[in-house]
């Protein structure tokens, strides 16, 4: 290690060779990572529905070569006592909690946003409200975001919840990426069964008591959204 023909790239000795080798491997890994498109799937989920859609979106995004996908959850703002009264199960332990600064490293975000009165929840609002400094410095400017959602009822905010996020994205200069119909026409227009989702983004319908789980169609749409979002962000950010 350290020599290429007669050229000595690193002043290595037998003793420091392993350290130099490790450093070089680290350098190569970083170089590779910098050529990758980085996507973060960030969600808030009180009862697990949005988390399930997030997993499907991750699966879709991971199909795209040259893309890395990380997952984060939005910090809870409600006290444990209130969560218990709301019958909220414990949060996923294997998903790190998002910090606004962490997101600076990513090219695109897929946001999982369950509805609250057709709008986004206070947990998401609190997270966005802590991004003032990043907003001032334009830290998120030019990044991309897609949004998926969950509602209790069929018409309780599948579209409006996603539309409500757009003002925040606009202020940050984040480019909103809709799902559209091109790759999910059959799923979004079928009338054989009740399903969430719209051209604005994937969605699930949880039911009034939260007992309905994301259906196969809804998970498929979330996966399509993840994949198409990853393809677009990759195209937009790594053109060389």
Ligand X SMILES: Cc1cc2nc3c(=O)[nH]c(=O)nc-3n(C[C@H](O)[C@H](O)[C@H](O)COP(=O)(O)O)c2cc1C
d(CA 67, CA 220): 20
Closest separation between CB of residue 17 and ligand X, Å? 51
- Asked whether the beta carbons of 37 and 108 are under 8 A apart, the reply is yes
Does 55 sit near ligand X (CB under 6 A)?
Answer: no
Q: Is 48 in the site for ligand X (CB under 6 A)?
A: yes
With respect to ligand X, which residue has the nearer C-beta, 73 or 228? Answer: 73
Q: Find the binder of ligand X among 60, 114, 196, 226 (CB under 6 A).
A: 114
In the complex, what is the shortest distance from the CB of residue 114 to ligand X, in angstroms, rounded to a whole number?
A: 4
Residue 64 or 214: the one with the smaller Cβ distance to ligand X is 214
Site for ligand X contains 185 (CB under 6 A): no
| Dihedral, CA of residue 56, residue 53, residue 190 and residue 155, to nearest 10 | -170
Contact pick of 118, 139, 178, 180 for ligand X (by CB under 6 A): 118
Candidate residues 27, 117, 181, 185; the one interacting with ligand X per rule CB under 6 A:
117
203 binds ligand X (CB under 6 A): no
Q: What mask of x and - would describe binding to ligand X in positions 143 to 172, judged by CB under 6 A?
A: -------xxxx--xx---------------
Cα–Cα distance, 161 to 141 (Å, whole number)? 22
Question: Which residue, among 65, 134, 144, has the nearest Cα to 109 in the 3D structure?
Answer: 144
- Pick out residues in 80-109 that bind ligand X (CB under 6 A): none
Q: Is 45 in the site for ligand X (CB under 6 A)?
A: yes
Residue 8: both structure tokens together: 């000595």
Q: What region, left, alpha or beta, does residue 207 occupy, with left being phi > 0 and alpha being psi -120 to 50 degrees? A: left
How many CB atoms are located within 10 Å of the residue 127 CB? 23
d(CA 68, CA 84): 35
CB atoms within 10 A of CB 163: 16
- Is residue 210 within the footprint of ligand X (CB under 6 A)? yes
Q: How far is the CB of 122 from ligand X (least distance, A)?
A: 9
Residue ranges binding ligand X (CB under 6 A): 45-50, 114-118, 150-153, 156-157, 206, 210
């Amino acid at each position: 290690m350290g020599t290429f023909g007669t050229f000595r790239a690193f002043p290595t000795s037998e003793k420091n060779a392993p350290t130099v080798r490790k450093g070089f491997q680290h350098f190569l890994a970083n170089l590779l990572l910098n050529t990758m498109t980085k996507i973060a799937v960030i969600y808030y989920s009180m009862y697990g529905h949005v988390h399930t859609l997030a997993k499907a979106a991750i699966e879709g995004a991971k199909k795209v070569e040259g893309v890395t996908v990380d997952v984060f959850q939005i910090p809870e703002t409600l006290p444990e006592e209130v969560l218990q009264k709301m019958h909220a199960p414990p949060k996923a332990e294997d998903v790190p909690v998002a910090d606004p600064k962490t997101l600076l490293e990513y090219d695109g975000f897929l946001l999982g946003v369950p509805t609250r009165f057709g709008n986004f929840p206070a947990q998401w609002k609190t997270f966005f409200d802590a991004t003032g400094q990043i907003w001032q410095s334009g830290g998120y400017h030019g990044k991309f975001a897609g949004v998926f959602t969950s509602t209790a009822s069929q018409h309780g905010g599948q579209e409006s919840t996603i539309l409500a996020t757009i003002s925040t994205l606009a202020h940050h200069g984040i480019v909103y990426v809709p799902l559209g119909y091109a790759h999910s026409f059959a799923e979004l227009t079928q009338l054989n069964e009740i399903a969430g989702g719209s051209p604005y983004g994937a969605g699930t319908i949880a039911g009034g008591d939260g007992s309905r789980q994301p259906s196969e169609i809804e998970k498929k749409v979330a996966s399509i959204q993840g994949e198409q979002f990853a393809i677009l962000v990759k195209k937009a950010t790594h053109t060389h």
